[in-house]
């Protein structure tokens, strides 16, 4: 792992990316001239394959959702251990997603306990082809949960989770976890988690 360049603001980050073509971009949300949201959106528009990990002090679900919508593949808080940051960088560089577990946990608890979007999908939404359980699994995948974590959260076996994921992909013509995240965002499911209470992650 090697740092190939640094930037002091969003505009410099865009310029540095064009010059250096790094495998992954790690940046904050709060930056002068152009914030992390706009920089991430600009990078994704110009280079759809760019891999972005947000490293920030903001422990806020609303910001977490916006970052996902902007195209970031990772969200890590600055207070975590350096080993966690390195793990996130490696996962995002490998094409996976890596979200802060506490934020993802609170969002999943909210979404699987009485979320309006879960009990009553919007009129005409493609999600009508999914069962309630498949929607729960899709939401969990979008929030970065592993098969094992979802199995524990939903009281199912890992094999059952894998079966649900295959059915979801077949029904919605999705091919990757990133596709599932984009679908969940398009349905507005993750936006409904922005006001979730800061309760303890139920997995612990």
Instruction: Read off the pLDDT of residues 137-184 as tens digits, 9 standing for 90 and up.
Output: 998 887 778 888 889 889 999 999 999 999 998 888 887 777 787 787
Counted domains in the chain: 2
Dihedral sign of CA atoms 80, 17, 42, 69 in order:
negative
Residue 177 lies in a domain: yes
Q: Rg (Cα) of the chain, in Å, rounded?
A: 17
- At 1 the pLDDT is 84
pLDDT exceeds cutoff 50 at 121: no
- At 113 the pLDDT is 52
d(CA 90, CA 69): 21
- pLDDT category at 201 given cuts 50, 70, 90 is very low
74 pairs with which residues across the strands? 53, 98
Closest CA to 182 of 195, 192, 172: 172
pLDDT exceeds cutoff 60 at 119: no
Residue 171 lies in a domain: yes
d(CA 97, CA 76): 11
- At 53 the pLDDT is 93
Q: Which residues contact 186 (CB under 8 A, 6 or more apart)?
A: none
Residue 158 sits in the same domain as residue 189: yes
Residue 15 sits in the same domain as residue 95: yes
Q: Show which of 99, 125, 151 is a domain's final residue.
A: 99
Residue 186 sits in the same domain as residue 163: yes
Residue 198 lies in a domain: no
Q: Show which of 76, 99, 122 is a domain's final residue.
A: 99
Residue 65 lies in a domain: yes
Name the average pLDDT for the chain: 77
Q: For the whole prediction, is pTM greater than 0.75?
A: no
Residue 123 sits in the same domain as residue 168: yes
Residue 86 sits in the same domain as residue 133: no
Residue 189 sits in the same domain as residue 155: yes
| 28 or 184, higher pLDDT | 28
Q: Show which of 36, 64, 99 is a domain's final residue.
A: 99
In sequence order, which ranges of the chain are alpha helices (DSSP H)? 10-20, 36-46, 61-70, 82-93, 101-111, 116-119, 132-142, 147-154, 158-172, 177-187
pLDDT digits (tens, 9 = 90+) for 123-135: 334 445 888 899 8
- At 160 the pLDDT is 93
pLDDT digits (tens, 9 = 90+) for 91-106: 898 888 888 877 766 6
Residue 171 sits in the same domain as residue 114: yes
Residue 32 sits in the same domain as residue 93: yes
Residue 41 sits in the same domain as residue 117: no
| 191 or 64, higher pLDDT | 64
Burial bucket for residue 57 (CB in 10 Å: 0-12, 13-18, 19+): exposed
- At 127 the pLDDT is 46
Percent of the chain whose predicted confidence (pLDDT) is above 70: 79
Burial bucket for residue 82 (CB in 10 Å: 0-12, 13-18, 19+): exposed
- pLDDT category at 11 given cuts 50, 70, 90 is confident
Domain residues for 151? 106-193
CATH label of the domain that carries residue 127: 1.10.10.10
Residue 18 lies in a domain: yes
CB 153 within 8 A of CB 160: no
**110-126 burial by CB neighbour count: b if 16+ within 10 A, else e?**
bbbeebebbeebeeeee
Residue 95 sits in the same domain as residue 116: no
Residue 91 sits in the same domain as residue 119: no
| 198 or 129, higher pLDDT | 129
Residue 95 sits in the same domain as residue 14: yes
Q: Which residues contact 58 (CB under 8 A, 6 or more apart)?
A: 29, 30, 77
Residue 34 lies in a domain: yes
């Amino acid at each position: 792992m090697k740092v190939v360049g640094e930037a002091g603001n969003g505009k410099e980050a865009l310029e540095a990316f064009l010059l250096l073509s790094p495998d992954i971009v790690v940046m904050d949300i709060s930056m002068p001239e152009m914030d992390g949201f706009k920089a991430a959106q600009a990078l994704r528009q110009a280079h759809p394959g760019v891999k972005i990990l947000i490293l920030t002090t903001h422990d806020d679900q609303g910001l977490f959702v916006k970052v996902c919508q902007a195209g970031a593949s990772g969200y890590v808080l600055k207070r975590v251990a350096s080993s966690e940051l390195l793990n996130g960088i490696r996962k995002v560089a490998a094409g996976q997603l890596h979200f802060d577990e506490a934020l993802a946990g609170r969002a999943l608890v909210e979404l699987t306990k009485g979320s309006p979007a879960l009990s009553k999908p919007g009129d005409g939404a493609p999600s009508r082809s999914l069962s309630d359980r498949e929607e729960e699994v899709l939401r969990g995948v979008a929030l970065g949960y592993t098969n094992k974590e979802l199995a524990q959260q939903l009281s199912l076996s890992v094999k059952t989770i894998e079966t649900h994921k295959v059915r979801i992909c077949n029904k919605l013509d999705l091919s990757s976890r990133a596709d599932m995240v984009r679908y969940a965002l398009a349905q507005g499911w993750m936006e409904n988690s922005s006001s979730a209470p800061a309760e303890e992650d139920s997995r612990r």
